[in-house]
Amino acid sequence: MIYMLDTTNIPEIERLFDLYPIDGVTTNPSIIAQEQKPLRRLLRDIRSVIGEEALLHVQPISTKAEDIVHEALEYRDLCRGNYYAKIPVTPQGIKAIQLLKQRGVKVTATAIFTQQQALIAAKAGADFVAPYVNRLDNISSDGIGVVADIMTFINAYDMRTQVLAASFKNVEQVHRVCLLGAHSVTIAPELFESLLYHPLTDRAVWDFYHDGVPYYDEPEIIEHNTEKTE
């Protein structure tokens, strides 16, 4: 399972990469806009926090295939390392995916709402296809069902494309795409931390600490644990 953060907030990326086994960062123009900073500066800052091996997904804003390719190549040079061009599955986007693959650029096909969009993107050579689970659920469609179907044909046709399930609003959605064997998920920071949280874990840790502390006689360890349990 590949976990990625769906954010461009540098302090959050820094904090969560320090704590958790996170593999990369995904961005899109709306997420970029939230930070109100120039794109190039933001991308450089993200790369310097996550390192060259982590996946960094960047979405061009152009709409014509040649312009998408041009923009994606610019971001590749800027981001270096493990870079993915994130391309929406419009007709021009599908053309751009094929052109980028010919140039050896890794691609994630994004803004996927149907099974056939994913299949065409996979056939065009996309390394990842990104179905939007919560946005489908929000229109009374079935986000998990769409991911399930995409997984079925990827396995049936033995395709090398992987599913990057995206657009989550709750832990249950993430859990259910994991049960389907989706290869990766991208999640906003707050929801990512909800995956780990349970009040009974906090209670157990609190009890362990207070039961044991009178008998643990190494002051530095106790001090360190106190910081953690507060």
- Are 109 and 57 in contact, with CB atoms under 8 Å apart? no
- Minimum gap (Å) between residue 110 Cβ and ligand E4P: 5
Mutual orientation of helices 189-196 and 10-19 as an angle, nearest 10°? 20
Is 8 one of the binding residues for ligand E4P (CB under 6 A)?
no
- Minimum gap (Å) between residue 30 Cβ and ligand E4P: 6
Is 166 one of the binding residues for ligand E4P (CB under 6 A)?
yes
Q: Which of residues 71-100 bind ligand E4P (CB under 6 A)?
A: none
- Interface residue with ligand E4P, options 8, 161, 162, 167 (CB under 6 A): 167
Mutual orientation of helices 189-196 and 171-179 as an angle, nearest 10°? 70
From the candidates 86, 95, 106, 123, which is the catalytic residue? 86
**Binding span for ligand E4P by CB under 6 A among 26-34, 148-156, 191-199, 205-213:** 26-34
Residue type, 38: P
- Minimum gap (Å) between residue 159 Cβ and ligand E4P: 20
Q: Which is nearer to ligand E4P, 86 or 220 (CB)?
A: 86
Longest Cα pair distance anywhere in the chain, in angstroms?
A: 68
86 is catalytic: yes
Q: Which residues bind ligand E4P (CB under 6 A)?
A: 6, 26, 28, 31, 110, 130, 132, 134-135, 166-167, 186
- Which positions are annotated as active-site residues? 86
